[in-house]
Amino acid sequence: MTINVASATSTLKGVNPQSRVLKLESNDVSSQRFLRAATAQERKLGISLSGLEQAASSTKTWAAKLIQKLQLKWWQLRKKSPNDVFTKLKLQQAGTNLFESPGFSKWVTYVTKNSNEAPEMAIFSTLAFHYSDDALARILLTAKETDSTKDLATKLEGLQLKSWADAGKTPDNVFKFLSLEKAGTKAFANPQFARWTDFISQSKTQNADMAMYITLRTHYSDEALAKMFAAAKEVESTKTLATRMEGIQLTNWVHAEKSPDYVFKTLALDKMGAKGFENPQFARWTEFITKANTKDPEAAVYATLGAHYSDEALAKMLAAGIKVESTENLAANLRILQFKEWVSQGKTPESVNAMLGLATNTDDLTKKVSRDFEVFYGKIPAIDRAGPSSPTV
CA 24 to chain centroid: 82
Distance in angstroms (rounded) separating the CA atoms of residues 272 and 69: 68
Residues in the chain: 393
Q: State yes or no: pLDDT of 62 exceeds 60.
A: yes
CA 360 to chain centroid: 48
Per-residue pLDDT tens digits for 318-377: 999 999 899 999 999 999 999 999 999 999 999 999 999 988 888 888 999 999 999 999
The angle formed by the CA atoms of residues 178, 181 and 182, to the nearest 5 degrees, is: 95
Question: What residue segments make up the domains of the chain, in order of their start?
Answer: 66-167, 178-253
pTM of the model: 0.75
Are 115 and 170 in contact, with CB atoms under 8 Å apart? no
Per-residue pLDDT tens digits for 204-262: 888 999 999 999 999 999 999 999 999 999 999 999 999 999 999 999 999 999 999 99
Per-residue pLDDT tens digits for 183-200: 999 999 999 999 999 999
Long-range pairs for 157-166: beta carbons < 8 A, 24 or more residues apart: 157/195, 159/120, 159/121, 159/124, 160/124, 160/128, 160/133, 160/136, 161/195, 161/198, 161/199, 161/202, 162/202, 163/124, 163/128, 164/133, 164/199, 164/203, 165/199, 165/202, 165/203
Confidence of residue 51 (pLDDT cuts 50, 70, 90): low
Average pLDDT (133-155) is 96
Burial of residue 101 (number of CB atoms within 10 Å: 0-12, 13-18, 19+): middle
Other C-beta atoms closer than 10 Å to the C-beta of 328 total 13
